[in-house]
Amino acid sequence: MKNALIQQIKAIVGPDHVLTATEDRWTYAFDATDRERLPELVVFPGAAEEISRILVLANEHLFPVVPRGAGTGRSGGAVPIKGGVVLVLTRLNRILEINTKDLVAVVEPGVVLGKLKAAVAKQGLYYPPDPASAEFCTIGGNVAECAGGAVAVQYGVTRDYVLGLEVVLPTGEIIEAGTRTMKGVVGYDLTRLFLGSEGTLGVITRIILRLVAKPPARQTLAAAFTTLKAAAEAVSRILASGLAPTALEFMDRVTLGCVREMLPFKIPPQAAALLLIAVEGHPRDVEERAAAVAAFCREQGADPVLRAKTAAEADDLWKARKVVSPALLKVKPHKVSEDVVVPLGAIPDLIAGLEDLSKRRGLLIPCYGHAGDGNIHVNILYDQRLPGEANAVGPTVEELFHEVRRLQGTLSGEHGIGLTKAPYLGMELSPAAIALQKRLKQVFDPRGIMNPGKIFPPEAGDLRITLKSESN
């Protein structure tokens, strides 16, 4: 990137808010995937107007701009694969309003989700979405990926809580979409279009969120099963039973082994799967539902079924669940994590298919995740130094996706397509649907400067910008 351009960007955001040193830029080259690419510049804007001016420059000089929150994304969305500017939104980190009458919060995108949840809870309210990364991801990243998490079974995902947005379009205009009211149908639903748009349609600079009342009581249970199949079958039966769990998570034997010592209970070594179940609501109702869930799990063959007796025990259970992803690296140094979703009735078939896939490909494929909404995190473990394992990963992912599509599932429930799944987009969307989505992208971003190389499979004709950074 030419020095004159860097100086212009420094004049917009202030020289202290631009990183040019190679070692500094490397720290913004990657996210939570194994992809990386050195950005030419890292910029920390302090206002929507600054972002607007940078995007106008990007259109004039044709450099990519890649929005970034905390870089915890799991599909490579914040990786500047075509170089250019990484626009880090962490300075925009103010909670502008928590309104206990309107039941809304107005926030900037760089607010860390855990801080937002805590601030809302202080006011006696609740912002439900709870991805396992809540303590370090940003709300802007959540909106851009439509993050989910454990309580989606009862409460839904980020999409269900975003009422309105302020967005800087790739061409520099600042628009408002949506409302601060609970309903609103004026014009096309642009808010929803930005939900899960992975930083390809604009930079989100303000978010109006719907809040709900804080549930007065919560109970957490853990149910151990001696076969994975029995646990998977129990999931669909619990969901059909009317017991209405708030969260219904599961871990297989390998996953359980990685976090066993963090659990507040002794889980017998023969356990092949653990279900973690939460119920929320009014205290008496919660007590009855928790007892019914425990009895139901025993009927399904779970042994033992344990109930957290204190808030600390429950916290320990959920903490163990939240670290399962990094804990799997105890088993093998590398992993590819997919977040496929299948219809609820197909969970046992998916699990059986994974066991078969693991045997045939000679790779360990532990799984865990949000069983209550069919969103299973499938982890393909390998050692990069062993060519037999490393070479088997790609075909294993492809076979997994074919199986998911055969079961009428979807390739991603919450992590998005980004870079890692772009080559597989055509396994789910028809050519006509992809062409329409590309035309939409072009309407928003005619010069293709906004997070290029994401979502759509790479095609020579797509890349309307070719930069010297391409050879980095």
Ligand X SMILES: Cc1cc2nc3c(=O)[nH]c(=O)nc-3n(C[C@H](O)[C@H](O)[C@H](O)COP(=O)(O)OP(=O)(O)OC[C@H]3O[C@@H](n4cnc5c(N)ncnc54)[C@H](O)[C@@H]3O)c2cc1C
Question: Judged by CB under 6 A, which of 145, 166, 403, 445 binds ligand X?
Answer: 145
Residue closer to ligand X (CB basis): 17 or 229: 17
CA atoms within a 13 Å half-sphere pointing along the CA-CB vector of 4? 2
Single out the residue of 148, 215, 257, 348 in contact with ligand X (rule: CB under 6 A). Answer: 148
Q: Give residues 158-187 in contact with ligand X (rule: CB under 6 A).
A: none
Q: Is 199 a residue that touches ligand X (CB under 6 A)?
A: yes
Report the C-alpha gap between 387 and 318 in whole angstroms: 36
* Distance, CA of 266 to CA of 316 (rounded, Å): 13
Q: Tell me which of 64, 69, 80, 215 binds ligand X, using CB under 6 A.
A: 69
Of residues 52, 191, 325, 379, which one binds ligand X by CB under 6 A? 325
The 3-class SS string of 342-359 reads CCHHHHHHHHHHHHHHHH
Of the residues 89, 195, 259, 378, which one makes contact with ligand X according to CB under 6 A: 89
> Per DSSP, which regions of 255-313 are E strands?
273-281, 305-307
Decide if residue 68 touches ligand X (CB under 6 A). yes
Residues 304, 308, 312, 318, Cα dihedral to 10°: 70
In the window 23-42, what residues touch ligand X (CB under 6 A)? 31-32
77 binds ligand X (CB under 6 A): yes
* Piece of the chain touching ligand X by CB under 6 A; list 95-103, 199-207, 221-229, 435-443: 199-207
Q: In what helix (H) or strand (E) does residue 60 lie, and over which residues does it extend?
A: helix 48-61
Q: Does 83 bind ligand X (CB under 6 A)?
A: no
Alpha-carbon span 344 to 237, nearest angstrom: 10
131 belongs to the binding site for ligand X (CB under 6 A)? yes
Q: Of 199 and 374, which has the nearer Cβ to ligand X?
A: 199
Taking CB under 6 A as the binding criterion, the range among 22-30, 54-62, 140-148, 300-308 that sits at the site for ligand X is: 140-148
Treating both helix axes as pointing N-terminal to C-terminal, what angle do 3-13 and 48-61 enclose, rounded to 10 degrees?
160
In the chain, the N- to C-terminal Cα span, in Å, equals 12
Nearer to ligand X, 154 or 300 (CB): 154
Q: What is the DSSP letter of 292?
A: H
- CA-to-CA distance for 69 and 344, rounded, in angstroms? 32
Question: Minimum Å distance from CB 360 to ligand X?
Answer: 28
Name the residue nearer to ligand X (CB basis): 70 or 302: 70
The torsion angles phi and psi of 244, rounded to 5 degrees, stand at 45, 65
- How far apart, in whole angstroms, are the C-alpha atoms of residue 312 and residue 264? 9
Interface segment toward ligand X; rule CB under 6 A; list 146-154, 303-311, 432-440, 464-472? 146-154
Closest to ligand X by CB, 203 or 275: 203
To the nearest 10 degrees (0 to 180), the angle between helices 347-361 and 228-240 is 160
Instruction: Please report whether residue 71 would count as binding ligand X according to CB under 6 A.
Output: yes
- Range in contact with ligand X (rule: CB under 6 A) among 63-71, 212-220, 271-279, 328-336: 63-71
Q: How far is the CB of 131 from ligand X (least distance, A)?
A: 3
Minimum distance, C-beta of residue 162 to ligand X, in the bound complex (Å): 12
Q: Which 327-366 positions form the footprint of ligand X (CB under 6 A)?
A: none
Q: Would you state the structure tokens that stand for residue 113, as one six-digit string?
A: 């989700």
Please give the Cα distance from 102 to 452 (Å, whole number). Answer: 38
Nearer to ligand X by C-beta: 145 or 338? 145
For residue 427, the tally of other CB atoms under 10 A from its CB is 13
State the greatest distance between any 2 C-alpha atoms of the chain, in Å, as a whole number. Answer: 71
Among 45, 73, 372, 448, binds ligand X (CB under 6 A): 73
H helical segments located in 80-208 = 113-122, 139-145, 152-155, 190-194
The distance of closest approach from Cβ of residue 295 to ligand X in the complex, given in angstroms and rounded to an integer, is 29
Does the protein bind ligand X through residue 45 (CB under 6 A)? no
Q: How far is the CB of 244 from ligand X (least distance, A)?
A: 21
Torsion region of 429: left, alpha or beta (phi above 0 gives left; psi -120 to 50 gives alpha): beta
- Residue 86 in the binding site for ligand X (CB under 6 A): no
Contact call for residue 138 and ligand X (CB under 6 A): yes
**Residues contributing to the site for ligand X (CB under 6 A):** 31-32, 66-74, 77-78, 89, 109, 131-133, 137-138, 140-142, 144-145, 147-149, 198-199, 203-204, 325-326, 414-415, 451
